[in-house]
Amino acid sequence: MALYIFKRFWMMLATIFIIATLTFFLMHAVPGSPLEAERTTNETIQANLEKFYKLDQPLHIQYFDYMKSIATFDFGPSIKDPNRTVNELLERGFPISFELGIITILVAVISGILLGTMAALRHNKMIDYAAMAFAVIGISIPNFVLATLLIQQLAVTWGIFPPATWKSPMHMVLPVLALATGPMAIIARLTRSSMLEVLTQDYIKMARAKGIKPIRIVLRHALRNALMPVVTIMGTLLAGILTGTFVIEKIFAIPGMGKYFVDSINNRDYPVIMGTTVFYSAFLIFMLFLVDIVYGLLDPRIKLHKKEGDV
Amino acid sequence: MTGKQIADELSRSRLEDGAEADPIEHEGKRGKIVSPKKKRTISSEKILEVEDLHVTFSTYGGTVQAVRGVTFDLYKGETLAIVGESGCGKSVTSNAIMGLVEQPPGKITSKGVYFKSKNLAKLSKKEMRKIQGVDISMIFQDPMTALNPTLTIGEQLTEGVKQHKKLSNAEAKQRAIEMLALVGIPNPDERMKQYAHQFSGGMRQRIVIAIALICEPELLIADEPTTALDVTIQAQILELFEEIQIKTGVSIILITHDLGVVAKIADRIAVMYAGKIIETGTKREIFYTPQHPYTRGLLNSVPRLDLTGGELKPIDGTPPDLFSPPSGCPFAARCPFAMEVCQAVYPDTTEKSETHRVDCWLQDSRAQKLIDEGAFAR
């Protein structure tokens, strides 16, 4: 196991390196620079600014400087907002984005599995049809549309929940709902179909022939096998939720990382782009790593490591 | 199994009945033969009585009459083999007895399925669960799929006894280890922690058998227990069945299409065709004096090494459509001896002996006359 984690660690580092490199060159390929503004500045000032931010250096020098900043995890100050360093932005934004993301994932996974399992157990009955109709709607409506609908109905018209910001659990309901509905619907549909398949398997029939209680058959015998495909798509869903947070944070005025990330690209704020991109990708890669670990825990046939003497 | 093996088994059981067996003849056939040294005792007490069992399934295409009035009984300590080709209703019969038919789409009607004079047909699902795995156990065809891939063998073994017999973890584990040892799994202690994929096919079937036997059932329903296994492993598993029956006195219903398996371990045979039992009798009666043309056809289509020359004689045609089964004898369309009456009316049961019963118009005295006149000269 340790060996596996060690190997994966180097793989993750390599991935981050590639992402950082690609981001750097793509970023510089985009026309414009952080110092360009509507107002025309004096050429000497412009040159001095470029010199200060080392933008006058050849690209490969700048590249090495960036790599150094990533390695030391010190991205320096933002160009647009020199009073703040990128690290400060991350420190302030990440906990909020993380909170939003994790709550969303938990809500999506738990309710999705619950809904899917219930639908499968009541196959072709009312609950099944209702759950699947709900799931189709959930998949079809983009999160930003859902977000505005929720704000309009639940916040503005009925005034149950606050429409924006991120202060109390009540504030969290709408953004989490908007962000979790899509992934939840996907998980529910997947759980249902995979559960239906598992329930026809011989080992379920055998468990029934053993007179095992139905609740135990579902939870212990069926669910674990049925969750395999769900874990498989968790990687994709995580990436979806992560990008979803950009939009949702913007709509609900949540002061997370997403806002800085989007703004930094518009401003060509090189240090912020690099910082947020590398941070996001590192986080996503780490989550995917966790998914793989969970996969191995769920299915004993999947070996993450080779022990000596194993067949 | 090949015909040679069937011949072997039959000649062996013949030898066991009469004179002592010639030891040389047994040697080297498949290593050491664990033939029943102790005679099994079949008591006259009936453990299972199935009366007029019907099972239908409603589908989009119509209603399939999978089992159409099956009646049989089983004595304590006896092995009854139900044989027949695919789709004749053997497995559905066993699933219906075991309470494993989903209703709907399935529908079970019967005059009673009595297990030790308790009518299983009348039990609720909850009451049935107290019988399943405790009094009646089932062994499935394919050991590759019958074990849960994500649970340890130990958990799958112990969960039944823990729930039914209220054993503690330690007691259940001890019991499971004993069972694994009984079915011939080496190092049962370590093997308990392993998963199904770490075992070979034969080993898995042994584990399935251990799981079925752990609550000491009185009736074991084995649905094609050797079909998915290699011939050599088949023989081992069948020997295991014999051993277990001697040790525990369990009654066995063996569902199979393999007459070799039947020749080895069955006491009585019920031949099923198109949802009906068309002939029952002791092993000897069915193998040596088969009465129903279908039974004869089945026996003729087994390859035999001891008969040289001649081709295998398969039964022509296919079984009838069970969406609309014929009103007469279902085998009439394929039967070389079919008469007009066969198409129209299902024959009554004729008792050839106390144990031998057959549903065939050829048993009718009027048909006997035709036979004597040479109407069915082959």
Whether the upstream peptide bond of residue A229 has omega within 30° of 0, thus cis, is no
pLDDT value at position B271?
Answer: 92
pLDDT value at position B376?
Answer: 61
Kindly state whether A220 is in contact with chain B, defined as any CB-CB distance less than 8 angstroms: yes
- pLDDT value at B301 more than 50: yes
> Roughly how many angstroms between the first and final C-alpha of chain B, as a whole number?
29
DSSP letter at A95 equals H
Task: Find chain A residues with C-beta within 8 A of B132's C-beta.
Answer: 208-211
- pLDDT value at B101 more than 80: yes
Q: What are phi and psi of A308, to 5 degrees?
A: -70, 140
The domains of chain B are located at: 1-135+218-325, 145-216
Cα dihedral sign for A70, A71, A75, A76?
negative
Q: Which residue in the set A208, A211, A301 is minimally distant from B130, CB to CB?
A: A211
In the chain, the amino acid numbered A132 is M
ipTM of the complex: 0.79
Kindly state whether A223 is in contact with chain B, defined as any CB-CB distance less than 8 angstroms: no
- pLDDT value at A311 more than 90: no
From A186, A169, A305, select the one nearest A238 (Cα to Cα).
A186
Kindly state whether A221 is in contact with chain B, defined as any CB-CB distance less than 8 angstroms: yes
Give residue-wise pLDDT tens across range A126-180: 999 999 999 999 999 998 999 999 999 988 889 888 887 888 888 888 999 999 9
Contact B201, B230 (CB under 8 A): yes
The rounded distance, in Å, linking the Cα atoms of B192 and B5 is 35
Cβ count near B201 (within 10 Å): 14
Helix or strand or coil: residue B241? helix
Kindly state whether B74 is in contact with chain A, defined as any CB-CB distance less than 8 angstroms: no
Pair of tokens at residue B174: 């001890």
Asked if the Cβ–Cβ distance from B140 to A205 is below 8 Å, we say yes
Give residue-wise pLDDT tens across range A58-87: 888 888 888 888 888 787 788 777 788 888
The rounded distance, in Å, linking the Cα atoms of A72 and B354 is 93
Q: Judge: domain B1-135+218-325, CATH 3.40.50.300.
A: yes
Kindly state whether B167 is in contact with chain A, defined as any CB-CB distance less than 8 angstroms: no
Q: Average pLDDT in the A230-240 region?
A: 87
Q: Which residue in the set A212, A300, A311 is minimally distant from B160, CB to CB?
A: A212
Interface test with A, best of B126, B148, B165, B224 (most A CBs within 10 A): B148
Maximum Cα–Cα distance for chain B, whole Å? 73
Mean pLDDT score of chain A: 85
Asked if the Cβ–Cβ distance from A202 to B195 is below 8 Å, we say no
Interface test with B, best of A210, A216, A307 (most B CBs within 10 A): A210
Distance of CA A184 to the CA centre of its chain: 14
Give residue-wise pLDDT tens across range A99-117: 898 999 999 999 999 999 9
Kindly state whether B147 is in contact with chain A, defined as any CB-CB distance less than 8 angstroms: yes
Q: Average pLDDT in the B203-217 region?
A: 88
The rounded distance, in Å, linking the Cα atoms of B28 and B323 is 49
Least confident segment among A78-87, A112-121, B65-74, B109-118: A78-87
Give residue-wise pLDDT tens across range A264-287: 888 888 888 888 888 888 888 888
Per 3-state DSSP, chain A is made up of helix, strand and coil in percentages (nearest 5) of 75, 0, 25
Q: Which residues of B162-179 are buried (b: 16+ CB within 10 A; e: fewer)?
A: bbbeebeeeebbebbbeb
Cβ count near B39 (within 10 Å): 8
Residue ranges of alpha helices (H) inside chain B are: 3-17, 23-26, 90-98, 125-129, 143-146, 153-164, 169-182, 188-191, 201-213, 231-248, 259-265, 283-288, 293-300, 340-344, 365-372
**Which positions ≥6 away from B249 have C-beta within 8 Å?**
B40, B41, B76, B77
Residue B8 — pLDDT band, cuts 50, 70, 90?
A: low
Distance from CA of B118 to the nearest CA of A (A): 17
From B322, B332, B338, select the one nearest B88 (Cα to Cα).
B322
